[in-house]
Amino acid sequence: MSHPPKKNWLEPFRVAMSGVALTFRTQRHMRFHLYVVLAVIMLASLLNFGLREVLTLLFTISLVLIAEMFNSAIEAVVDLVQPTYHPLAKTAKDIAAGAVLITTIFALVVGGLLIFGDSRWESIKANLAVGGFGPPFVFRLIVGILILFFIVVIGKGLGKRGQVLRGGLVSGHAAFAFFIAIGIMALSDRWLVSGLALVLAAIVAQSRWEAKIHSVFELALGATAGTLVGLLLFVLIPK
């Protein structure tokens, strides 16, 4: 009488770790997210985050990594079932990429709130109220948004592909992300916050490339436009 083979309780863990390693080895977007995770954790240690802030940050980061892994799994299954182009296959991949984008944006918002902290937000609100960064800063922000809007629309009109709200020669997401990053740098007197603002803007741009909506050249044009407008309005023009 043969006995059933003994169950290896470590096998599920080994399989799971193999999946994580496979995702890291084959998916460049996963590698990018993990590098950002390491940078954020190092930044959190430098800013002396408390236990609750660290737990919130880790939970938010895990959502981004999980969404990226589900996105990779869905793409693999879709390619297996439908190796040729099909509108429904494209829809499944687009929705999965959209899930990654939403979690990434949510993570950026949470990270920004944690890094600025309650005291810094109160200081910014006080400055806006008393006029330290009041009408001049708000006016520059509005003017910059309007200028970028026309630049993006004109750039998309000059391109031969994409639409006004999706794709096109100039990435609007990259343009506005880097413009806001320059604005944050003008508001903040901490180089860590300024550096993180640029990293977050780069993540926004990378998410558009990951979703295959823009090429690297189109993202570079958008980032350049946003940076130049931000430098002009927040740095070069006297306050």
Residues 55 and 147 in one domain: no
In a domain, 103, yes or no: yes
Q: Which of 118, 153, 178 is the last residue of a domain?
A: 118
Residues 112 and 153 in one domain: no
In a domain, 126, yes or no: no
Mean pLDDT of all residues belonging to the chain: 76
In a domain, 6, yes or no: no
Q: Which of 20, 100, 40, 91 is nearest to 68 (CA)?
A: 100
Q: How many domains does the chain have?
A: 2
**Does pLDDT of 214 surpass 70?**
yes
Percentage of the chain modeled with pLDDT above 70:
77
Task: Give residues with Cβ within 8 angstroms of 237, minimum separation 6.
Answer: 140
Stretch 17-27: mean pLDDT: 78
**Does pLDDT of 157 surpass 80?**
no
Stretch 200-205: mean pLDDT: 84
Residues 140 and 239 in one domain: yes
For residues 141 and 183, the answer to whether their CB atoms sit within 8 Å is yes
Stretch 159-164: mean pLDDT: 53
Q: Which of 83, 118, 153 is the last residue of a domain?
A: 118
pLDDT category of residue 87 using cuts at 50, 70 and 90: confident
In a domain, 55, yes or no: yes
Q: What pLDDT, on a 0 to 100 scale, did the predictor assign at position 164?
A: 46
First to last CA, the chain: 89
Residues 109 and 144 in one domain: no
Residues 18 and 95 in one domain: yes
Please give, one letter per residue, the 3-state secondary structure of 171-232: CHHHHHHHHHHHHHHHHCCCHHHHHHHHHHHHHHHHHHHHCCCCCHHHHHHHHHHHHHHHHH
In a domain, 124, yes or no: no
**Does pLDDT of 20 surpass 80?**
no
Q: Which of 74, 95, 118 is the last residue of a domain?
A: 118
Stretch 143-167: mean pLDDT: 71
Residues 88 and 184 in one domain: no
In a domain, 226, yes or no: yes
Residues 145 and 97 in one domain: no
Residues 135 and 95 in one domain: no
Residues 111 and 155 in one domain: no
Known catalytic residues are: 68
DSSP conformation letters of 122-154: HHHHHHHHHTSSTHHHHHHHHHHHHHHHHHHHH
In a domain, 51, yes or no: yes
Angle between helices 172-187 and 191-210 (to 10 degrees): 170
pLDDT tens track for 27-86: 777 777 777 777 777 766 666 777 777 788 778 888 888 888 888 888 888 888 888 888
**Does pLDDT of 129 surpass 60?**
no
In a domain, 1, yes or no: no
Q: Please give the residue range of the domain that contains residue 73.
A: 12-118
Residues 147 and 106 in one domain: no
Neighbours of 203 (CB within 10 A): 20
pTM for the whole structure: 0.52
Residues 112 and 157 in one domain: no
Dist. CA 159–CA 162, nearest whole Å:
8
State the alpha helices, DSSP H only, in 27-134.
28-46, 51-81, 87-130
Dist. CA 230–CA 232, nearest whole Å:
5
Q: At 32, which CATH number?
A: 1.10.287.3610
Task: Give residues with Cβ within 8 angstroms of 72, minimum separation 6.
Answer: 23, 26, 27, 30
CA distances in angstroms from 110 to 24, 54, 80, 114, 116, listed in the order given: 24, 11, 36, 6, 10
Dist. CA 68–CA 214, nearest whole Å:
19
Residues 150 and 199 in one domain: yes
